[in-house]
Structure 1
Amino acid sequence: MGLRPKIWHNLAGPACDVFINHRTVDTRRTIVRLLYDHLIQQRCKPFLDAETMKPGDRLLDTIDKAIRGCKVGVAVFSPRYCESYFCLHELSLLVESKKRIVPIFYDVKPSQLHVKESTILSCSQKDLKRFNLAVEEAKSIVGLPFDSSKDDWSELVREASKAVVSKVNEEISA
Structure 2
Amino acid sequence: MASSSIQNVSHWPYDAFLSFRGADTRKSFISHLYAALNGKGIYLFKDDKELERGASISPGLLKAIEDSRISIIVFSQNYASSTWYLDELVKIVQCKNKNDHQQMVFPVFYDVEPTVVRKQMGSFREAFSKHEEAFKENLEKVKNWRDALKEVANISGWELKEYSFNQHPVVS
TM range (shorter): 0.7 to 0.9
Equivalent residue for 1:143, pick from 157, 160, 168:
157
For the residue of structure 2 that corresponds to 1:17, the secondary structure is: strand
For the residue of structure 2 that corresponds to 1:43, the secondary structure is: coil
- 2:72 touches 2:108 (CA, 8 Å); kept in 1? yes
Equivalent residue for 1:106, pick from 110, 118, 137:
110
CA RMSD of aligned residues (A): 2.3
Instruction: Describe how 1:148-167 pairs up with structure 2 within 5 A.
Output: 148-149=162-163, 151-152=164-165, 157-158=170-171
CA distance in 2, matches of 1:37, 1:119: 35
State the TM-score, normalized to the length of structure 2. Answer: 0.72
Equivalent residue for 2:134, pick from 111, 122, 138:
122
1:21-75 Cα shifts (integer Å, max 9, x gaps) = 0111101001111111111111111111117xxxxxx951111000011000011
CA distance in 2, matches of 1:21, 1:136: 16
State the TM-score, normalized to the length of structure 1. Answer: 0.72
In structure 2, what is the equivalent of residue 82 of structure 1? 80
- 2:57 touches 2:84 (CA, 8 Å); kept in 1? no
AA aligned opposite 2:24: D
CA distance in 1, matches of 2:22, 2:67: 22
CA distance in 2, matches of 1:152, 1:32: 11
In structure 1, what is the equivalent of residue 9 of structure 2? none
1:32–1:154 Cα change, 3 Å: farther
AA aligned opposite 1:118: S
For the residue of structure 1 that corresponds to 2:170, the secondary structure is: helix
CA distance in 1, matches of 2:36, 2:82: 26
User: Structure 1 residue 94 and structure 2 residue 106: aligned?
Assistant: no
For the residue of structure 1 that corresponds to 2:58, the secondary structure is: helix
User: Structure 1 residue 63 and structure 2 residue 61: aligned?
Assistant: yes
Q: Which consecutive unaligned segments of at least 5 residues does structure 2 have?
A: 1-11, 50-55, 97-102
Instruction: Describe how 1:4-43 pairs up with structure 2 within 5 A.
Output: 15-43=13-41
- 2:107 touches 2:155 (CA, 8 Å); kept in 1? yes
- 1:146 touches 1:156 (CA, 8 Å); kept in 2? no
Q: CA deviation at 1:122?
A: 3.5
Q: Which consecutive unaligned segments of at least 5 residues does structure 1 have?
A: 1-13, 52-57, 162-174
Identity of matched residues, %: 27
CA distance in 1, matches of 2:21, 2:63: 19
**Number of matched residues?**
139
Equivalent residue for 2:148, pick from 130, 134, 139:
134
When Rg is computed on C-alpha atoms for both structures, the one with the higher figure is 1
Q: CA deviation at 1:154?
A: 8.1
